[in-house]
Structure 1
């Protein structure tokens, strides 16, 4: 599939010329939604680019973006790409070590910071020797006393850019024509599960090609209204909020802050919604908590219709047609129960809803489809610039990620690794020819995932090929595949399965504190902290039930025999998981080596000392005696 060779900037200027009243961006500030039309947005981006160029920014230099989703951070992103530079978004919670690694990859001409906290981070980076020529901040609160070198407010920089545009006729047209399809649209990073994250530069052609592939594959339509809440450093935000939104001219709505996303989502009621399974799980938990605190009559009506809708949805997933009774209950339930819930959580207008990143739990999947949110699953990764496979509305299954999207070729290596080729495939890891050679061959991307195609052409992803291991008896398994199914339980947030070279499988579990805490309060189980709750025998029985359900689906030689509930969550600040919550297995297995030995030695408890990193950056040690439990 060949798409027209254009840039995001050409689409931006086209929308500005053809949609004078179209809304490009809405941003909520102090409770009020502020709108920006496409002409206004294009003017903002162009003025920022003019100012950056005056500061000496150009091709080969980077603008590091520090903070949560903000309109000006997106405008800065497009502004530096207009100059053929690198837009490098980072996670808001990224540590200084992570940022220091990023700053060593390309010259950081500018750090664009959301607020005082992020400015402090940039200044600390600079003080540590990192090159950051200029720092520009969006939110001026708390910045009055700062006198650092080359520190500017967004408003100040924009005034300079507008003055330059006014004084130099033809400057805007020249800036708009600079970027070419092969120039960088974004500088992202791999998750870094096995080491430092690798730099991934995606071109305008990559991002736009992936957007058209998703459009033709039915992932979304040309006219969507979306909520920009995904981390700007995650591929999902690049693919949707920047790539597709700018290409097709969508309206992007930016919540006031992460804590108000659910409330702001209700006000926006987006038409397209994509998120990781944990976000769908968290929303389901909120719905269940709301229902549990409602009146007895409302609970009874809710369970009457929801139980029947879920049963009908399970039958539909097994290929059984809906009966007349199912359709009647669907209509009544929609007006009495489902529609009010969808309205309350901003799900009323959704036409296309997707989950991706890892497997979604069966109960969660069935719940949303029973609610009337036609949730589907997809598959993608940063190196593909977006999505490579997705379920069609008529192709929904619990265990697949759908069929390859138009323009995406798929095949398998002899080892079962998924290989992909298409317009969205990146051209290599920045400054890392060795890693590039290992991942790309004749245009084919070695995804690192193992899987297979079913008879109907749908893709099943089993897990990472690097994680295929064997027990002492030679049984082959993928830990991540089992871990994802354990996380289908609302009580389990993270899991680490251990069994390579061992006689049996064991698992270390991290409870979901919100869901488990709510269950404990409802069932009169006392606790004082996360560590205390994690060791309660009542909680252990819930975890054991979750393991039994997964064991029932596994071969006899791969069932989990023993487990331990850890006293703390796996934390990205402690290096145990990535910012996208992927397990750093080597780090976890090294850090919890005494626990693993106790699991496989027959011990009934183990004493642990774990280093934790607090929000202030300080570290401490947590000690606890953990109970090891055995499943019959």
Structure 2
């Protein structure tokens, strides 16, 4: 036990593990308040001004919040629903729950009531934390439908003055009551720090639910702290990082890479004003560690390209000339080659004129560690950012492993791998080609689901459900989901997601579903990227009024045909997409077509678009599709769309 004197109450201690490191996230919080008390812990942009709180102030507020939550009925072993965008008070509430040996269960802020009911069925949550009026309304609807949650606490009070529901209270009022209780009970803070155990659940997250009800995934303190210490020892995190909290709070990437890393690495957690200002605020933060999904990197590249096309002719020429050379240099470096003296000189000039200014403009001038994961990233996007001097790397992990399993290291970066196992992690491939993982970051099982737990965890190994292989350098190659291995009518094996990811490498395709199980050939339902294709159309004088109209333009059909033809060139003959149709809209989580983390729900898609799929195999050049739409009043209607079907010429 190590001593700390804080602003609240008496001297407290924090539990440490055998390696001397904090045993829980609360122990790490106490350590930070004691050893780095004056350092900035959280920085939030509010009303255009960056507001800062140091570790002592954060510790003080979280302890007061825990005192208030205990009086509000939150007990050890209970869940606490959290819904809203990234806000300091929501993070504080998560840690305050941990002080009581309870656990937060964050929910995606855009979920409808039906999904909210499913997401809150575990842990009997007596308390819900809401960001604002919109989320309070959802929790009130949840209470009417299920009886949970009894107490609803909110951060932003705007619009809530006229509410008179029982159990409704602002977090300001909760903290005030908590401070009063702390003044009456001087030993309370010590209990809040000492009682949480490494085996306690630190957060309850949920699987994506692509094949059924989402499973509850409890990450225990030892999973999170152990995984982060492994990652830190492997060089993926450094002490006192500048982190950027913009990822959905219900995603493992936010809890582990933001809140968990913030505690264990005594980092500064920077929070944008709102989701609409994420990219603007990123430029002011300039984090040292930055994580983004492949689609976000693709969108960032598209914005750069669009911006340069709207620039002056000289700037456009300079950018295109320098970046073409920079990408060639990066290819050479990744293949093991060295730049010649003249190439090094040109690269240095390129950095001065283009790379460095562009990195600063994007807000990544200090990003010493930049990562992407979740699915494959396009080669062009990957090479562009690395050529720009942003040492982007790929990592691999799942919620069940705290997203900390394998990652690339500088000097060992390959385009088709996700790197070697992190320190403390083991990976092997079983006879069926499935990736198995063993690590301190692997969960013990699913919440209240012994059957699924027994299937996923056997002989100390997590069966990830992913297919993969280990290459000659010991790096992991992820091929896709084992469950998604299907066969065509001729018996050819393939993983649809593998082909879909390569199609999505194009900035013009946002989503796609490849069809072909049991069929003679492959076809695809394509959702164009409205912004990228819209800009492409405007440059060519192609007029349109809506997504639906743009998607059916002959020129757009030809554009997507070129993308499909390019990907076909990398595929064996029997696994080439022969026909496709551009959908009149994007796949939507509210329609059940994708999960909140943008994974396809294939069964839903194949059912919803059954008539379109049959038309793809009938030889027709177009089909009439009746699209169901939901109005704001809850009623449903039908809009008839004519969808074109295109052949992909060899």
Q: TM-score, normalised by structure 1?
A: 0.98
1:334-345 alignment runs, 5 A limit: 334-345=351-362
**In the aligned structure 2, how far is the partner of 1:448 from the partner of 1:431?**
20
Q: What is residue 496 of structure 2 aligned with on the other side?
A: 479
Q: What is residue 64 of structure 1 aligned with on the other side?
A: 81
Q: What is residue 592 of structure 1 aligned with on the other side?
A: 609
Q: Does 1:319 align with 2:336?
A: yes
CA offsets, 1:321-369, max 9 Å, x none? 2222321111111111111111111010010011100000111111101
1:356-505 alignment runs, 5 A limit: 356-505=373-522
CA offsets, 1:200-243, max 9 Å, x none? 11100000111012112222222310110000000101111111
Q: What is residue 252 of structure 2 aligned with on the other side?
A: 235
**In the aligned structure 2, how far is the partner of 1:475 from the partner of 1:7?**
49
CA offsets, 1:389-442, max 9 Å, x none? 101111111111111111111111211000001101111111111111111102
**In the aligned structure 2, how far is the partner of 1:616 from the partner of 1:410?**
51
CA offsets, 1:284-309, max 9 Å, x none? 11111211111111111111211111
Which of residues 9, 13, 21 in structure 1 aligns to 2:30?
13
1:252: Cα distance to partner? 0.3
Which SS does the other structure have where 1:6 is aligned?
A: coil
Q: Does 1:565 align with 2:582?
A: yes
Q: Does 1:512 align with 2:516?
A: no
**In the aligned structure 1, how far is the partner of 2:534 from the partner of 2:291?**
27
Which SS does the other structure have where 2:405 is aligned?
A: strand
1:619: Cα distance to partner? 4.3
- In structure 2, the CA distance between the partners of 1:172 and 1:58, relative to structure 1 (3 Å rule), is same
Which SS does the other structure have where 2:466 is aligned?
A: strand
Which of residues 563, 568, 571 in structure 2 aligns to 1:551?
568
CA offsets, 1:44-65, max 9 Å, x none? 1100000111122111212111
**In the aligned structure 1, how far is the partner of 2:483 from the partner of 2:22?**
36
Q: Does 1:157 align with 2:174?
A: yes
Contact 1:573–1:613 (Cα < 8 Å) also in 2: no
CA offsets, 1:80-117, max 9 Å, x none? 01111120111111121111012222211111000000
Contact 1:210–1:385 (Cα < 8 Å) also in 2: yes
**In the aligned structure 2, how far is the partner of 1:507 from the partner of 1:160?**
58
Which of residues 295, 298, 315 in structure 2 aligns to 1:281?
298
1:167: Cα distance to partner? 0.9
**In the aligned structure 1, how far is the partner of 2:135 from the partner of 2:614?**
41
Contact 1:417–1:449 (Cα < 8 Å) also in 2: yes
- In structure 2, the CA distance between the partners of 1:265 and 1:618, relative to structure 1 (3 Å rule), is farther
Contact 1:409–1:422 (Cα < 8 Å) also in 2: yes
Provide structure 2 residue ranges, at least 5 long, that are not aligned to the other structure: 1-16
Contact 1:27–1:35 (Cα < 8 Å) also in 2: yes
1:282: Cα distance to partner? 1.1
1:251-330 alignment runs, 5 A limit: 251-330=268-347
Q: Does 1:102 align with 2:119?
A: yes
Contact 1:103–1:130 (Cα < 8 Å) also in 2: no
- In structure 2, the CA distance between the partners of 1:618 and 1:303, relative to structure 1 (3 Å rule), is farther
Q: Aligned Cα RMSD in Å?
A: 1.4
Q: What is residue 609 of structure 1 aligned with on the other side?
A: 626
Contact 2:22–2:31 (Cα < 8 Å) also in 1: no
1:256: Cα distance to partner? 0.2
**In the aligned structure 1, how far is the partner of 2:456 from the partner of 2:277?**
40
1:105-184 alignment runs, 5 A limit: 105-184=122-201
1:615: Cα distance to partner? 7.0
Contact 1:211–1:386 (Cα < 8 Å) also in 2: no
**In the aligned structure 2, how far is the partner of 1:61 from the partner of 1:614?**
37
Q: What is residue 347 of structure 1 aligned with on the other side?
A: 364
Count of matched residue pairs: 632
